[in-house]
């Protein structure tokens, strides 16, 4: 039985009565494990394409629960939400003095929050796999603070993949889509073939993952899930997916900034605050 299945059994009521606190902790652990499984599935796929199955196996054996050794996580606290309602951003208490720079990826610090800052930095890659990709450092970066542009901001466009959990595990479609921020914690994926929706290739509940972008993140990460599908009124052959982040934006009190050591924003448009 996998870790996800064992946690799911208890969360779904198969392990007897549990307290509310225990239920919430188990539900959080289940979500963290699902994020990790999705990220690992896409990472193994990439390794197999790049170097074959043998190379992927060797990397796993050498690094154990870690994937690669580059990059670091910079812990930060959310100071305040954006005062302008039409912008989706947060101010954090980490800036250039800590190594934060424009375009760096920002991930939640929710599913590993009980491990503390030291563990988060030491087990950087293992922690990263469990969290959710929530935003990018905007151009307003000071010595002690930075502004995080959430992926729901209307200026953000990003290449993503879609996958789902089945009895056989996690599977991702072998093509990419473009995710766009729509404000208010909402994102969209447009230009989805209507026949894919009708055939069940894409459906509500599917997981949205970031694409692997050189220098941005070392692995694909969970972004959110499909919560609604509607036809495109301008083109009946297409559909529009509504995406919601896997963490509530209002619950973002702590985050990690990922510092890769080198940076490239290919396939990501961070835009700029108007």
Confidence at residue 124, expressed as pLDDT on a 0 to 100 scale:
67
Confidence at residue 222, expressed as pLDDT on a 0 to 100 scale:
93
User: Residue ranges of the domains in the chain?
Assistant: 3-63, 72-152+249-261, 157-245
Confidence at residue 20, expressed as pLDDT on a 0 to 100 scale:
82
Q: Which CATH number fits domain 157-245: 2.60.40.3140, 2.40.10.350, 1.10.357.10, 3.40.50.11780?
A: 2.40.10.350
What value does the CA radius of gyration of the chain take, rounded to a whole number of Å? 18
Nearest-5° Cα angle at 109, 168 to 21: 75
Under a CB-based contact definition with an 8 Å cutoff, are residues 157 and 178 in contact? yes
Q: If the chain, 274 residues long, is cut into consecutive pieces of 10 residues, what is the mean pLDDT of each piece? A: 49 61 84 85 71 42 43 88 77 91 90 58 71 89 90 92 89 92 91 95 95 78 95 95 92 88 49 36
CA nearest 265: which of 98, 139, 128, 174? 139
Confidence at residue 235, expressed as pLDDT on a 0 to 100 scale:
94
Common-topology check for domains 72-152+249-261 and 157-245:
yes
C-alpha of 50 from chain center? 23
φ and ψ at residue 68, rounded to 5 degrees: 75, 175
Q: List the alpha helices (DSSP H) in 228-274.
A: none
CA nearest 260: which of 209, 217, 210? 217
In the chain, helix, strand, coil percent, each to 5?
30, 35, 35
E strands present in 41-185: 72-81, 89-92, 105-108, 133-141, 146-150, 157-166, 169-172, 177-183
- Residue 255: its H or E element: strand 254-259
Fold for 72-152+249-261, please state it. Answer: Thrombin, subunit H (2.40.10)
Rounded Cα–Cα distance for residues 66 and 249 (Å): 27
CA nearest 156: which of 180, 185, 139? 180
Rounded Cα–Cα distance for residues 132 and 169 (Å): 19
**What's this model's pTM, rounded to 2 decimal places?**
0.76
Confidence at residue 16, expressed as pLDDT on a 0 to 100 scale:
58
Rounded Cα–Cα distance for residues 165 and 184 (Å): 27
Confidence at residue 265, expressed as pLDDT on a 0 to 100 scale:
45
Confidence at residue 72, expressed as pLDDT on a 0 to 100 scale:
82
Confidence at residue 11, expressed as pLDDT on a 0 to 100 scale:
46
Residue 5 burial (CB count, 10 A): 10
């Amino acid at each position: 039985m996998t870790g996800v299945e064992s946690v799911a059994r208890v969360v779904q009521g198969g392990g007897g009565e549990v307290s509310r606190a225990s239920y919430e902790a188990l539900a959080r652990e289940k979500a963290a494990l699902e994020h990790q499984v999705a990220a690992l599935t896409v990472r193994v796929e990439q390794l197999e394409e790049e170097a074959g199955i043998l190379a992927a196996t060797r990397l796993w054996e050498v690094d154990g629960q870690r994937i690669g050794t580059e990059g670091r996580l910079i812990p930060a606290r959310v100071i305040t939400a954006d005062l302008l309602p039409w912008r989706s951003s947060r101010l954090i208490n980490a800036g250039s003095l800590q190594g934060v720079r424009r375009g760096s990826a920002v991930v939640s610090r929710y599913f590993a929050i009980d491990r503390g800052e030291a563990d988060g930095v030491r087990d950087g890659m293992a922690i990263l796999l469990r969290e959710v990709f929530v935003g990018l450092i905007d151009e307003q970066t000071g010595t002690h603070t930075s502004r995080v542009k959430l992926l729901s901001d209307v200026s953000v466009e990003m290449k993503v993949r879609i996958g789902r959990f089945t009895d056989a595990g996690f599977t991702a479609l072998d093509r990419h889509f473009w995710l766009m921020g729509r404000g208010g914690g909402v994102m969209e994926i447009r230009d989805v073939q209507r026949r894919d929706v009708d055939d069940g290739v894409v459906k509500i509940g599917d997981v949205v993952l970031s694409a692997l972008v050189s220098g941005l993140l070392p692995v694909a990460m969970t972004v959110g899930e499909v919560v609604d599908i509607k036809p495109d009124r301008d083109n009946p052959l297409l559909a529009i997916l509504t995406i919601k982040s896997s963490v509530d934006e209002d619950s973002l009190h702590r985050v990690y900034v990922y510092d890769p050591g080198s940076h490239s924003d290919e396939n990501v448009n961070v835009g700029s605050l108007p």
